[in-house]
Amino acid sequence: MALLDLPLRVVLYEGSGAVSVDADSRLAAVNALLERGFAVTRAGSERPLAPADATPLLVVGRWQEEVPPTGEATAKIRWGSLDPTTVADQAEAARAEFSAPTPGAWRPWFPVIDYDRCTNCMQCLSFCLFGVYGVDDGKRIQVQNNDNCKTNCPACSRVCPEAAIMFPKYKAGPINGDVVSDSDLNREKMKIDISALLGGDVYSLLRDRSERARSRFGKERDSDKALAERQKCLTKLAALAGDIPPEVLMSLPSPEEISRKAAEAAAKAEAALAAQPPQTA
């Protein structure tokens, strides 16, 4: 399936040729569809809706006639019944028929850059070892590989000196998109200073701790005990590292690989910075 296949949209139609449904049935239908990952349009005449596009549609209603009033199905439209107990299954069937993408296959965790704040300093590109960031033709930082991002890891947002990197599903501000305060900026700067004091390379610090933890696990004979110890160490490490998930720490590449990737990222960032026009004071 092509990545850009359009997702199915479900239209709840209650206009001419169909009878209106009660609010409870409408709510049950909308809930069932949203929880299965389908976008829903509730059509009406009082306010504008976003205009139609090429998205395949399933139009559901309680039709007055057997055949929906607007005629036969076209290549991009299927008709169905506005029955809250079956509407999600109808949508699944239409989705399969159109070969539309399956929603919810990936938890959407990825950085979103606030370009009102971003100064294109490339610290995020230098920091991220997973190739999430890159630069465009104009040497501006951008998120290029969303799905390389490690779920629940907000580490790159913590190295951004301008708090310009958001993870909208993060628990707290300003990383979640909340307004950035002066104290947030000071805190972010302090984190960078702290990491510099610790050796200037956060990944090096994490890697060393992770390696020490791994070494300890290797000496354990009892697997349950080893697992317990591992969890204890990771909990401690995660606390020390902020809120970087343990599974991210444990998935860090080998020291050699880290060095290689860090050098590559730094070179990319340096090249992008060198290509920027000189700043005027």
Partner 1 sequence: MSQSTPGPQPALLYCHCQYAQVVSPEVKAAVLKKLCESNLPFEAVPDLCELSARRDPSLKRLASAGPVKIAACFPRALKWLFAAANAPLPLGATEVLNMRNQSANEVLASLFSAELRPNLPEGKVTLADAPVSSAAPTANQP
Is 113 an interacting residue with respect to partner 1 (CB under 8 A)? yes
N- to C-terminal Cα separation, the chain = 51
Helices (H), 152-254: 155-159, 182-197, 202-219, 223-240, 246-250
Question: CB of 141 within 8 A of CB of 118?
Answer: yes
Shortest separation between residue 226's beta carbon and partner 1, angstroms? 31
Dist. CA 184–CA 202, nearest whole Å: 20
As a whole number of angstroms, the distance between CA 116 and CA 166 comes to 12
Contact residue for partner 1 among 74, 85, 104, 267 (CB under 8 A) = 104
Nearer to partner 1, 11 or 213 (CB): 11
CA–CA separation, 201 vs 264, rounded Å? 15
Question: Is residue 131 at the binding interface for partner 1, with CB under 8 A as the rule?
Answer: no
Complex with partner 1: residue 31 or 85, whichever CB lies closer: 31
Closest CB to partner 1 among 245 and 255?
245
Selected from 89, 97, 147, 247, the binder of partner 1 by CB under 8 A is 147
DSSP tag of 170:
S
Q: Contact between 98 and partner 1 (CB under 8 A)?
A: no
Site for partner 1 in 155-184 (CB under 8 A): 166, 168-171, 173, 176-179
Q: Which positions from 1 to 40 touch partner 1 by CB under 8 A, shown as an x/- string?
A: x-xx-xx-x----------x--x--xx--xx-xxx-xxxx
CA quadruple 262, 265, 269, 275: dihedral sign: positive
Q: What is the rounded distance in angstroms from the CA atom of residue 151 to the CA atom of residue 71?
A: 46
How many residues in the shown chain lie near partner 1 by CB under 8 A? Answer: 70
Work out how close the CB of 63 gets to partner 1 at its nearest, in angstroms, rounded to a whole number.
19
Whole-angstrom distance, CA of residue 250 vs CA of residue 253: 8
- Rule CB under 8 A: say whether 255 interacts with partner 1: no
Tell me if 265 sits within 8 A of 259, measured CB to CB: no
- 11 strand-pairing partners: 41, 59
Which one of the spans 75-83, 130-138, 237-245, 257-265 is the region binding partner 1 (CB under 8 A)?
A: 130-138
Contacts with partner 1 by CB under 8 A lie at 1, 3-4, 6-7, 9, 20, 23, 26-27, 30-31, 33-35, 37-55, 101-108, 110, 112-116, 134, 136-138, 140-147, 166, 168-171, 173, 176-179
